[in-house]
């Protein structure tokens, strides 16, 4: 497997990038992490090295996964799903240890806790199977060799909550209130929704709670059937589910033909020019972080 193309861009020049991707070609592991933007007024951690709690969580998670893979690489006889579960369980244990060292204050409610969506592709070189894992809403689009598409498009509950939040945001956006002030206006809704993470009535996402790992969604495919895989954050997938410019088929075709940078330009044209005030496509940020990897078998 090879990485044909990749992109990871912050939502704006004035904000840190809370997305990140990582991979190990040697062991056939690829992942995208999308840190959930914090809802607290004050950072939980010292921001000497990281620009936000969410950036620390996603980037330190990425570093930890890379180290764990190198220190204890997968072998040929393992169960891929169990390996991913163990990898993320160990990662969460290390995240908790690090958080205790660097935190400035303790979260008083669940909505203050750092968290992130993550999707992982595991396809060892000498194995005929591909395992895809998802926790949160980082979509994966798979194109078969017959050009048929299989879409693993994230978390229905998170999509539902995002639509509810965007509906509440729209009246303020129509009044010309900017995105930052709008988020303040609807913050109680955002708190309520974030408090639903890692619960049966809510959604499951990577956080400091190990119990979430048991709710990873797994999908398995035969390697010989697959041509290309597109793994991404929801900021990249917005061009499908929010802006309706592409179908899943169209997005992976355009990514292969024109490149991820071109898709990124199209996303930003919508967000910063066509609908800069968010009234045509209601959303919680003018522009989200955008991350994607195009992987070829």
Span 1-57, pLDDT tens digits: 899 999 999 999 889 999 999 999 999 999 999 999 999 888 999 887 889 999 999
Q: Kindly report, residue by residue over 230-250, the tens digit of the pLDDT.
A: 999 999 999 999 999 999 999
State the pTM of this model: 0.96
Query: Integer distance in angstroms from the first to the last C-alpha of the chain?
Result: 5
Answer for the pair 208, 99: CB distance below 8 angstroms, yes or no: yes
What pLDDT sits at residue 215? 96
Q: Is the pLDDT of residue 100 over 90?
A: yes
Please, what is the average pLDDT of the chain?
Answer: 95
| Annotated domain spans of the chain | 2-157+204-279+286-296
Architecture of domain 2-157+204-279+286-296: 4-Layer Sandwich (3.60)
């Amino acid at each position: 497997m090879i990485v044909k193309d990749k992109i990871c861009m912050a939502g704006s020049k004035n904000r840190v990038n809370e997305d990140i991707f990582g991979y190990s070609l040697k062991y056939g592991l690829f992942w995208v992490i999308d840190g959930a933007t914090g809802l607290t007024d004050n950072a939980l951690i010292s921001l000497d090295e990281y620009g936000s709690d969410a950036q620390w969580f996603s980037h330190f998670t990425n570093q930890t996964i890379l180290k764990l893979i190198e220190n204890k690489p997968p072998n040929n006889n393992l169960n891929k799903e169990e390996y991913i579960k163990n990898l993320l369980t160990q990662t969460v244990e290390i995240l908790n240890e690090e958080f205790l060292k660097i935190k400035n204050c303790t979260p008083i409610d669940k909505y203050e806790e750092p968290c992130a969506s993550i999707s992982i592709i595991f396809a060892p070189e000498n194995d005929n199977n591909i395992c895809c894992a998802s926790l949160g809403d980082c979509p994966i689009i798979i194109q078969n060799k017959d050009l048929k598409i299989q879409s693993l498009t994230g978390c229905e509950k998170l999509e539902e909550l995002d639509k509810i939040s965007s509906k509440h945001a729209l009246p303020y956006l129509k009044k010309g209130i900017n995105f930052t002030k709008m988020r303040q206006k609807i913050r109680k809704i955002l708190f309520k929704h974030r408090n639903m993470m890692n619960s049966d009535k809510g959604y499951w996402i990577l956080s400091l709670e190990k119990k979430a790992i048991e709710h990873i969604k797994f999908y398995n495919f035969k390697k010989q059937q697959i041509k290309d895989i597109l793994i991404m954050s929801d900021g990249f997938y917005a061009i499908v589910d929010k802006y309706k410019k592409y179908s899943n088929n169209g997005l992976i075709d355009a990514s292969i033909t024109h490149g991820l940078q071109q898709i990124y330009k199209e996303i930003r044209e919508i967000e910063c020019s066509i609908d800069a005030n968010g009234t045509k496509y209601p959303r919680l940020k003018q522009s989200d972080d955008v991350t994607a990897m195009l992987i070829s078998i």
